A and B are shown apart, each in its own frame.
Chain A
Amino acid sequence: QLQLQESGPGLVKPSETLSLTCTVSGGSITSSSHYWGWIRQPPGKGLEWIGSVYYSGTTYFNPSLKSRVTISVDTSNNQFSLKLTSVTAADTAVYYCARQNYSGSGSSRAPKWFDPWGQGTLVTVAS
């Protein structure tokens, strides 16, 4: 059974960089049928997709965050990581990692739904 676990600091100072890692167990991050994504949820609010990465390193990002986001993959450790620079209080959220289905054929092949998700980790931006 595939499991994902987020890890990283729970408190980050304004203007600094948020760094999180997602460790995948029970399956390989080099699956050709999956992307790996980051999603966040501010307290009491809805879900926002941040970005997704393939084991080859191909990435997609939400344009609203693209200038501040880096997502990378470490196949040797079955992990992928998120870095978000210049954080503010608005970046306070629960950050989830998730496996993303990658299916379809030809031009319709694209990352799609998320399943399963990690338990999430709360990151607070405060001084």
Chain B
Amino acid sequence: EIVMTQSPATLSVSPGERATLSCRASQSVSSNLAWYQQKPGQAPRLLIYGASTRATGIPARFSGSGSGTEFTLTISSLQSEDFAVYYCQQFNNWPLTFGQGTKVEIK
């Protein structure tokens, strides 16, 4: 099983600042990685797939990069609605696995 490790566990950021979230895979997943956003009491929402392709309707301030074992989700200028938990998910190997999440909170 591929273990996905996200860091940091919590990221404190001021509105308008840049946020950089990391996701590391225990072995290469090529570009077979997705990012999701989850707000309290809501289902996850797809942000990024294929490591760097924004899903439909996702603002341009969200960007994904990386391949192999190291991936990054960047939020260029945090808006109030971006404070949430973010998960990465690999779909290169079975079983599909998620990271443990990074909580982005208001500083």
Interface residues of A (CB under 8 A from B): 46-49, 52, 60-64, 96, 98, 101, 110-120
The 7 closest A-B pairs by CB, nearest first: A115-B46, A117-B43, A113-B34, A47-B98, A49-B96, A112-B91, A62-B95
Q: Once the chains bind, are B46 and A113 in contact (CB under 8 Å)?
A: yes
Given contacts A46-B101, A112-B34, are A117 and B45 in contact (CB under 8 A)?
yes
> Nearest Cβ in chain A — how far from B91, in angstroms?
4
Chain B positions 82 through 99: 1 when the CB is less than 8 Å from some CB of chain A, otherwise 0: 000001010100111111
Q: How many residue pairs bridge A and B at CB < 8 Å?
A: 60
Picked from B43, B89, B95, B99, the residue with its CB within 8 Å of the CB of A120 is: B43
Given contacts A60-B94, A111-B91, are A46 and B100 in contact (CB under 8 A)?
yes
The dominant DSSP class at the B interface is loop
**Could you jot down 14 A-B contacts, CB within 8 Å?**
A46-B98, A47-B98, A48-B98, A49-B96, A49-B97, A52-B96, A63-B95, A112-B32, A112-B34, A113-B46, A113-B49, A114-B46, A114-B89, A115-B55
Complex interface: chain B residues within 8 A of A96 (CB) = 43-44
Interface residues of B (CB under 8 A from A): 1, 32, 34, 36, 42-46, 49, 55, 87, 89, 91, 94-101
Q: Once the chains bind, are A112 and B44 in contact (CB under 8 Å)?
A: no
Picked from B32, B44, B91, the residue with its CB within 8 Å of the CB of A47 is: B44
The dominant DSSP class at the A interface is strand
Q: Once the chains bind, are A113 and B91 in contact (CB under 8 Å)?
A: yes
Complex interface: chain B residues within 8 A of A116 (CB) = 43, 45-46
> Nearest Cβ in chain A — how far from B50, in angstroms?
8
Q: Once the chains bind, are A47 and B87 in contact (CB under 8 Å)?
A: yes
> Nearest Cβ in chain B — how far from A100, in angstroms?
9
Complex interface: chain B residues within 8 A of A101 (CB) = 49
Complex interface: chain B residues within 8 A of A63 (CB) = 1, 95
**Shortest Cβ distance from B94 into A: residue:** A60
Cα distance, A20 to B100, chains bound together (Å): 25
Complex interface: chain A residues within 8 A of B98 (CB) = 46-49
> Nearest Cβ in chain B — how far from A80, in angstroms?
17
> Nearest Cβ in chain A — how far from B51, in angstroms?
11
